[in-house]
Structure 1
């Protein structure tokens, strides 16, 4: 990565929360960002919060989803008060469901190959792949998943920024470890139930070339019609 003084930072700040401030103010251009967490930890919502923040600050994005299709994605974003219908229509945001991209009868090997060869997937400022776990959870694609990692590193070396989400329960340690090591920014999510409420946490394991002071631990909630909410009383 370039020296900090030469970096361009992508802003994702929203007036309604303090996530950008807690993470130093911006994401360095050309970063590989890894977000890990088990089911229910909030990976997709955190990823969608980043997406909406980038869009509202004038950046372009591609969102590749193994979880949903276009209409449910728009509805999900609306439920978090992250409306993106206009951004999809004017092509500031390109939403790409995995099923049409790879085909329902496509093997994981073919799916990863198409992810690499996908025309136009990496032509925006930021590309999100949520979740990569769905494509690399099979032991038979371990070696190909490392080829995919090499490709992602090449994409980032050309100034593109990538966000990847992985579920540690779906991917072998032998596959997870290289991705953790390669990430410029590594955010580990966790959740637990306390008194009937779900407490979620972002642990910042690595953040290369942060633009400002940042927090190591960020507590947050997910609220209908409000989306991602930083629990200010518990940010450390």
Structure 2
């Protein structure tokens, strides 16, 4: 049975047929700067208000992500401190990803999500373009297939 979780934004909920269908796999697509992170944050906010545990994988540092979300009215500090929101940063200060290291991002994230799936009700990746920049099509398809399997298995 599909559960509907409010995003806490009436306009978005109406456009989604009442809210976020749980379980589901969603991809938010758009050009740089079009508000994809804001929509993802709205989804995170709604899930947190529904007492769900959320894992957010981000290209930002944890501090930068929390600050960035505050600038668009989402204060995730308390949820983070209460372990309702887990932030996994792919950013490592003072380093840059080599192509070889970047190629391992998707398989590593996939493994982490599988191993930790019991701890979270939802996983948000902000942004997938960072994670897939050096990946070949097969690795991206494997990742999406794995995500679809996790969603279908609850």
TM range (shorter): 0.7 to 0.9
CA RMSD in angstroms, aligned pairs only: 2.0
Which of 114, 131, 135 aligns to 2:131? It is 135
Distance 2:11 2:142 in 1: 36
Q: For residue 32 of structure 1, give the secondary structure of its aligned residue in structure 2.
A: coil
User: What does residue range 163-202 of structure 1 map to in structure 2 within 5 Å?
Assistant: none
Structure having the larger proportion of residues in strand: 1
Choose from 99, 112, 117 the match for 2:111. 117
> Could you say which structure has the greater relative contact order, defined with CA pairs below 8 angstroms and 6 or more residues apart?
1
Mapped to 2, the partners of 1:35 and 1:72 lie a distance apart of 21
User: When the two structures are superposed, what TM-score results if normalisation uses the length of structure 1?
Assistant: 0.57
TM-score after normalising by structure 2:
0.85
Alignment match, 2:89: 97
Moved over 6 A (4+): none
Q: Distance in 2 between matches of 1:73 and 1:121?
A: 22
Q: Which residue is equivalent to 1:59?
A: 52
Alignment correspondent of 1:30: 23
Q: Which structure 2 residues correspond to residues 70-89 of structure 1 after superposition, within 5 A?
A: 70-89=62-81
Counterpart CA distance in 1 for 2:69 and 2:78 is 12
> How many equivalent residue pairs?
148
Unaligned runs of 5+ in 1: 1-5, 160-236
Q: Looking at secondary structure, tell me which structure has more helix per residue.
A: 2
Structure 2, unaligned runs of 5 or more: none
Cα deviation code 1:106-142 (max 9, x no counterpart): 523211110111142673111101111112233x522
Q: Secondary structure at the match of 2:8?
A: coil
Name the SS for the 2:56 alignment partner.
strand
Task: Measure, in 2, the Cα distance between the counterparts of 1:48 and 1:121.
Answer: 20
